[in-house]
Amino acid sequence: MNAHDLGYGKLFSHALMMQDLVAGFIHEEWVAGLDFSTLEKVNPLYVTDDFRKRIDDLVWKIRWQGTDRWLFIYLILEPQSTVDNTMALRNGLYELLLYQDLIQSGKILEGQKFPPVVPVVLYNGSQRWTAAMDVADLIEESPPGLEAYRPHMRYLLVDEHRYQEGELKVSVHFSPGFPASAE
């Protein structure tokens, strides 16, 4: 992660900034059902089965309203300043490692289903984003009958350059201990 991405990581390590990002820039139906008062940062350090560390930039969990049970939607935020043609694969790996960690930590028990995960790439680079948005787009076309085995893992892109300058200003709600200016 470069210095610019580190700045985004620090900025979006605050719940209110994460809320402004999700509510202000993700225009999908499911966002209306989020309970932002439940935003909680999750440890992004995962260790694979062969004991290699993988660090995801920022992981948050949030309760989704409208259900009769406690359901989390995990938001994986990946600040990105360059186009990475394997981003769909990277985010898919982060998602699978998150699921693996939920099993190993006992948060998902046998027979339980996994929570939804929304990988979000926050892109601020100068080039147009051209990377595949789904792992399936990185895999050669399959012979007939094999399409069912082609994995699909998609991420959501928030590309700063697709917004006008006025649209990028968020409504930050400052709290004690939070810097007085986001500029």
DSSP 39-101: EEEE--EEE-TTS-EEE-SEEEEEEESSSSS--EEEEEEEEESS--TTHHHHHHHHHHHHHHH
For residue 120, is it within any domain?
yes
Q: DSSP letter for 106, please.
A: T
Count the domains in the chain: 1
Is the pLDDT at 165 greater than 90? The verdict is: no
Distances 153 to 61, 87, 136, 167 between C-alpha atoms, Å = 19, 11, 7, 29
Is the confidence at residue 181, as pLDDT, over 50?
no
CA distances from 135 to 42, 77, 88, 118 (A): 24, 17, 5, 14
Note the helical H segments in 74-172: 87-104
The CA–CA distances, whole Å, from 98 to 95, 151, 155, 182 equal 5, 17, 15, 30
Rounded to whole angstroms, the Cα distance separating 157 from 25 reads 10
* Overall average pLDDT of the 108-134 stretch: 91
Cα torsion 34, 39, 41, 47: sign: negative
Give the model confidence (pLDDT) of 34-76 as tens digits: 999 989 888 766 555 554 545 556 888 898 886 766 677 788 8
* Residue 33 within a domain: yes
In a domain, 173, yes or no: no
Question: What is the reported pLDDT for 21?
Answer: 87
**176 in any annotated domain:** no
Please report the pLDDT score of residue 78 as a whole number: 84
Q: State the residue range of the domain holding 119.
A: 3-139+146-168
Residue 38 lies in a domain: yes
- Residue 80 inside a domain? The answer is yes
